[in-house]
Amino acid sequence: MAAKFYHPLFSWDRSEICFALVTIFIAIAGSI
């Protein structure tokens, strides 16, 4: 968890990155 917080982009899995991108996309789409 500490390593993930220190280097989030380097320690994330592909699924976590996809989940983050989808979450951001939904947030942006909802705010428009």
- The answer to whether 23 and 31 have CB atoms below 8 angstroms apart is no
- Which residue range(s) make up the domain with 14? 2-31
pLDDT attached to residue 22: 93
pLDDT attached to residue 32: 80
- The answer to whether 28 and 21 have CB atoms below 8 angstroms apart is no
Model pTM score:
0.53
**Which of residues 32 and 25 earns the better pLDDT score?**
25
The letter for the amino acid at 15 is S
Q: What's the domain count of the chain? A: 1
pLDDT attached to residue 27: 94
Mean pLDDT, range 12-27, rounded to an integer:
86
The predicted-structure confidence for 3-15, as pLDDT tens digits, reads as follows: 555 555 566 677 8
